């Protein structure tokens, strides 16, 4: 198939592009490189453009695409609480421009990167897809708002979609050719590995007074390749005018302290920590039930355990201590 991948030079996008190419699909990456890296995508696949630029989106989409995979978004919970305008502008307004460009060019399928942050504070764990959605941060709200738009666009315009609610993506390509590199980095696993490389003095723990066994937040970490594989399965399942929503996690929760402990084992570094206040917008616990995608699409993770996830990330970080800046 011909696939148009927004944000395909970013972390999850670039890993998905790689799997798509390996599976024989033709891919065009649409990315403004504000956060993505040209070096992360196959030569010749990049079509530079901004999500805000509908004219450019239409130009990019004109060559007969079967499906859009929409990764382009701002994705830091903490920042979304300080700069909600940035998040609504890109994640909602920009995404609506993409839908408009799809309508103009007749592209009828989209796989959307949604988030566990759409749920807010869980009333039940593990979280199934029919759990109430009540985000507690602007990032999660923008993801939920666009899911709602998709639902109505599907009904009115025949667009078919899959919204994938990611829990915490981590890890890197097993051959260490591509990996995670945000600037500034805000995500826990790469931050811990940067500390192991000596690029940070300590890992800050955001909150030690949560109602969890060790007082730190619990998250469900999922390997980026397992997420990427789910995109391919979801794309193949999309039907015109209909939507599907799937959670993606491993169904196991690890606290911030447990992630750091795992990284100590994997890297052999001491990894000093600095305990600090909570970060705004963080629910205490987010753990997925991915039973639905397993049952309906046969999704099966290749890297279900945290240690294997951190090991792949560590291989990439060691080989690329300055990320893509090398």
Site residues (vs ligand UDP, CB under 6 A): 77, 168, 186-188, 191, 203-206, 217, 219, 256, 279, 282
Instruction: For the beta carbon of residue 230, count every other beta carbon within 10 angstroms.
Output: 25
d(CA 281, CA 168): 15
CA trace torsion 325, 74, 224, 171 (10° rounding): 50
SS3 193: helix
- Are 124 and 131 within 8 A, CB to CB? yes
Q: Write down the least CB distance from residue 242 to ligand UDP, Å.
A: 28
Quickly count helices (H) and strands (E) in the chain.
Answer: 11, 14
Question: Strand locations in 167-258, DSSP E?
Answer: 168-170, 203-206, 218-219, 221-223, 243-248, 254-255
Q: Write down the least CB distance from residue 168 to ligand UDP, Å.
A: 5
Tokens of 93: 């307004």
Q: Write down the least CB distance from residue 71 to ligand UDP, Å.
A: 15
Tokens of 190: 């790469």
Q: Which residue is nearest to ligand UDP (CB)?
A: 217
Provide the pairing of β-strand 109-115 with 254-255. Answer: unpaired
Residue from 11, 119, 139, 166 carrying the catalytic annotation: 139
Q: What angle do CA 137, 211, 114 make, to 5 degrees?
A: 30
Question: Given the complex with ligand UDP, which of 160 and 281 has the nearer CB atom?
Answer: 281
Q: Write down the least CB distance from residue 123 to ligand UDP, Å.
A: 18
Q: In terms of C-beta density within 10 A (0-12 exposed, 13-18 middle, 19 or more buried), how is residue 21 classed?
A: middle
Question: Given the complex with ligand UDP, which of 59 and 145 has the nearer CB atom?
Answer: 145
Instruction: For the beta carbon of residue 236, count every other beta carbon within 10 angstroms.
Output: 12
Give the chain's largest Cα–Cα span: 56
Question: Given the complex with ligand UDP, which of 168 and 289 has the nearer CB atom?
Answer: 168
Q: Write down the least CB distance from residue 12 to ligand UDP, Å.
A: 12
Provide the pairing of β-strand 285-286 with 218-219. Answer: parallel
d(CA 79, CA 279): 10
Question: Given the complex with ligand UDP, which of 155 and 276 has the nearer CB atom?
Answer: 276
Q: Write down the least CB distance from residue 220 to ligand UDP, Å.
A: 9
Query: By C-alpha distance, which of 297, 316, 145, 122 is closest to 220?
Result: 122
- Asked about 139 being catalytic, the answer comes back as yes
Q: Write down the least CB distance from residue 306 to ligand UDP, Å.
A: 13
Question: Given the complex with ligand UDP, which of 106 and 276 has the nearer CB atom?
Answer: 276
Question: Given the complex with ligand UDP, which of 154 and 260 has the nearer CB atom?
Answer: 260
d(CA 93, CA 186): 24
Question: Given the complex with ligand UDP, which of 270 and 295 has the nearer CB atom?
Answer: 270
Which sequence positions are flagged as catalytic? 139
């Amino acid at each position: 198939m011909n696939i148009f991948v927004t944000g395909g030079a970013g972390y999850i996008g670039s890993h998905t592009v790689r799997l798509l190419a390996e599976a024989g699909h033709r891919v065009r990456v649409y990315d403004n490189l504000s956060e993505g890296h040209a070096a992360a995508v196959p030569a010749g696949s990049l079509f530079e453009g901004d999500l805000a630029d509908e004219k450019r989106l239409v130009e990019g989409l004109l060559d007969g695409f079967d499906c859009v995979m929409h990764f382009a978004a701002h994705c830091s919970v903490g920042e979304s609480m300080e700069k909600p305008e940035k998040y609504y502008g890109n994640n909602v307004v920009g995404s609506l421009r993409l839908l408009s460009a799809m309508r103009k060019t007749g592209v009828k399928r989209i796989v959307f990167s949604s988030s566990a942050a759409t749920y807010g504070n869980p009333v039940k764990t593990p979280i199934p897809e029919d759990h109430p959605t009540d985000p507690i941060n602007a990032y999660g709200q923008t993801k939920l708002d666009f899911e709602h738009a998709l639902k109505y666009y599907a009904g009115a315009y025949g667009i078919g979609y899959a919204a994938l609610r990611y829990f915490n993506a981590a890890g890197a390509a097993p051959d260490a050719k591509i990996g995670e590199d945000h600037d500034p980095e805000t995500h826990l696993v790469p931050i811990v590995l940067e500390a192991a490389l000596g690029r940070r003095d300590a890992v800050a723990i955001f909150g030690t007074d949560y109602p969890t066994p060790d007082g730190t937040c619990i998250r469900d970490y999922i390997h980026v390749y397992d997420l990427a594989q789910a995109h391919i399965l979801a794309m193949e399942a999309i039907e015109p005018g209909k939507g599907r929503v799937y959670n993606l996690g491993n169904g196991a929760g690890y606290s911030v302290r447990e992630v750091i402990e795992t990284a100590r084992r994997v890297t052999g570094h001491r990894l000093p920590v600095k305990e600090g206040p909570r970060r705004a917008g963080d629910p205490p616990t987010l753990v997925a039930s991915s039973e639905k995608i397993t049952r309906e699409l046969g999704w099966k993770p290749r890297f279900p355990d945290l240690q294997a996830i951190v090991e792949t990330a560590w291989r990439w970080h060691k080989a690329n201590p300055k990320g893509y800046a090398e």
